[in-house]
Every structure is written in C-alpha cells, then in structure tokens.
Amino acid sequence: MIVKNQLIREYMEKLNTNYLGLTLRSPLIVSSSRLTSTLGHLKEAEENGAGAVVLKSLFEEQINYYVHAVSSESDYPEAEDYISNYVHSNSVENYLEMIRQAKKNLSIPVIPSINCYTAKGWTGFARNIAEAGADALEINVFFLPVDRKKTSAESEKLYFELIENLKKVVKIPVVLKIGFRFSNILYMFDQFYNRGVNGVVMFNRFYEPDINIDNLEIMPAAVLSNELERRYVLRWVAMASAQKLKIDISASTGVHSGQDAVKYILAGANTVQVCSVLYNKGISYLKKMNEQIAGWMDAKGFGSIDQFRGKVNYANYDKPGAFERTQFMKYFSSYE
C-alpha cells in the first residue's frame, strides 16, 4: 500500500486539475454508478488515484417520499409508521449518512448525485445534501419528451426551471449531467451558464431499450459503453469549451484508457468521468489510466494538465471547420 501511494504521489502533482473551484489531484472522476455506492468502493477509488467521486444517484421519487414524510408527520400521525418505514427502506437518510462518512474517510472531493425527472418538489432537499458536507452536487437530469404537442423550447424550459429552483437553495457548486439530445447544445450550455450552473457533464449515457426477438420482450441495450461512443461527445466538448464561459466541463462516455481521457482534455474538458471501464477492469484500473495520462504528458513535454487542456478545441485548433463537418463526403473514396 505504501509503495502504491508513493507511486501515485509521484505523478499526481502534474495531474492536478481544477474543477468547480476544487483542486483535484487527477482529472479522472469515478462517475455515478454502483461502483460509487459503498464506502469500500470509494476508498478503493481514492487509493487508486481518482481525482473525485460522484456518488450513486439518489432518485427524486425517494426524496419526494422523504420530504412528504417529514412535512406530514404532525398532520397524519396514523401514517407515520408506514411512511417512516418507507423512508427507511428507501434510504434517504442512509444516503446523507453515506455523504458524511465519505467526507470523513476520504480526502478527495465527494459529489453526491440526484436523479430527477421533474423541475420542482424535491429541490429543497438539495440543502440537506449540502449540509451533509458535499463538495458539489451533480444533477442527473433527462426529461424524456414523449408529448408530440410540446415544442422543444417547452421541454427545455424544464431544465431552466430546475436550475433556478436549485440555485435558490444551494450554495455549493451545481453540476448538470445531461444527455446529448438537444436541438442546440451550445444554446443550452449558454443558458445553464446564465443561470449560474458551475459545471456540465457531457454526456450521460442513458438506459436504452432493445427487443429480445425470442420472447418479444424489452430488454436493456448494451449496459456498458465502448470507446467508439466518444464519437457522440468529443465535438460538443470541443465546441462548448471554446465558448470561454466560466462553466466547467466533465466529459463522460467512452473513456476506456488514459489516452481516451487525454482526447477529452485536449478538446477542453476539465475532468473526465469513468464508469464502464472500471466495471470491466476493476476500480484499480484508475491507477493505470493515470499512468497513461502522465506517460503521454511526458512524451509530449507537458508539465501540467493546464498546458494542454483545450489545445485542440474549436477555438484553438487551426482548422476549426473539422468540428463542423457532419457528412462523410470527402472520405467516401477510401471506403469504396
């Protein structure tokens, strides 16, 4: 363990990065999943060089029951037992305790996560999370547009309401973890910034349905990502970071090696989140990924993350049109 910690210290200094006003010793963040749901896993992440951890999401439904239980205690005493049992089994208190324990036992930043599907009702609860010692709060948000009568603008307004409600009650940095299915991601980014959002995770990778043709049932499409999925993300990281707004970017999806992380940082990400690769290779793989980033930096002569962050984004790359290309026209010939 001592040797491991020494090794980590050796390359960590040059991997320091700033995210949400916090100094992280590595740009690698373990993203929200079951891998961040126990103290044991969190400690393992820290021991292997994670810069920060995002806790497994607490769900809005759980918070709503909790809020209801607390506020209705005196009004409906007969329901108290039932509700408190419900709340207990839905572990909202456990979640707050988990934040406290994580803060007590880890030295890296701890970022809880709330998974929500409405813009209000639950936001006051965010204060409890801040009070439990969270360094920042990540909101995992996606309002699935299923109403064909609703315009994109109406759907998007929900995101803005959510932020406005949240910013009224929490002072810690707020990060939005969004999907990439917006008509204009840069507009959303700008609007988030105007409303005081401190960081955006680009992007979540949602549960998607697949069809089992043997039993004609719905089943989950591939649960874990692969590195090819970076193709949906890189352009937007490069373009959003070029806006030069004071809003941090944490790139997520398809990071399966230190080299993958380097690409997102070159595109302008402040941090890079990892999940699937750790399911595949174990949490200890973080160490290898940090070494790969440090090795690449040595080979290229970069002494710090800041020296290369955004070097190949839409503003700094000398052929920015490459980021605007969406058709393969020019490349067809090599595939004939």
Ligand X SMILES: Cc1cc2nc3c(=O)[nH]c(=O)nc-3n(C[C@H](O)[C@H](O)[C@H](O)COP(=O)(O)O)c2cc1C
Q: Give the residues lining the site for ligand X (CB under 6 A).
A: 31-34, 56-57, 113, 115, 140, 177, 204-205, 223-225, 252-255, 274-276
How far, in Å, are 231, 322, 324 from residue 335 at the CA level?
Answer: 19, 19, 21
Residue 43: beta bridge partners? none
Based on CB atoms, which residue is closest to ligand X, 134 or 302?
Answer: 134
Minimum distance from CB of 73 to ligand X (Å)? 29
Question: How many angstroms separate the CA atoms of 120 and 137, rounded?
Answer: 16
Based on CB atoms, which residue is closest to ligand X, 33 or 270?
Answer: 33
Burial of 318 (0-12, 13-18, 19+ CB in 10 A): exposed
Minimum distance from CB of 144 to ligand X (Å)? 15
What pairing do the DSSP bridges indicate for beta strands 174-178 and 217-220? unpaired
Minimum distance from CB of 205 to ligand X (Å)? 4
Question: How many angstroms separate the CA atoms of 214 and 97, rounded?
Answer: 44
Question: How many angstroms separate the CA atoms of 109 and 112, rounded?
Answer: 10
Would you mind telling me the total number of residues written for the chain in this entry? 336
Minimum distance from CB of 214 to ligand X (Å)? 24
* Residue with tokens 């980590």, as numbered in its chain: 8
Based on CB atoms, which residue is closest to ligand X, 26 or 57?
Answer: 57
Based on CB atoms, which residue is closest to ligand X, 169 or 221?
Answer: 221
**Segments in the chain forming alpha helices (H):** 2-15, 39-47, 60-72, 80-89, 92-105, 126-131, 152-169, 185-194, 234-241, 258-266, 276-281, 285-300, 321-324
Based on CB atoms, which residue is closest to ligand X, 57 or 271?
Answer: 57
Instruction: Give Dmax over CA atoms of the chain in angstroms.
Output: 74
Minimum distance from CB of 75 to ligand X (Å)? 32
Minimum distance from CB of 15 to ligand X (Å)? 18
Residue type at 310?
A: G
Question: How many angstroms separate the CA atoms of 226 and 41, rounded?
Answer: 22
Report the first-to-last Cα separation within the chain, whole angstroms.
54
Minimum distance from CB of 264 to ligand X (Å)? 11
Based on CB atoms, which residue is closest to ligand X, 113 or 128?
Answer: 113
Minimum distance from CB of 72 to ligand X (Å)? 28
Based on CB atoms, which residue is closest to ligand X, 24 or 141?
Answer: 141
Based on CB atoms, which residue is closest to ligand X, 255 or 266?
Answer: 255
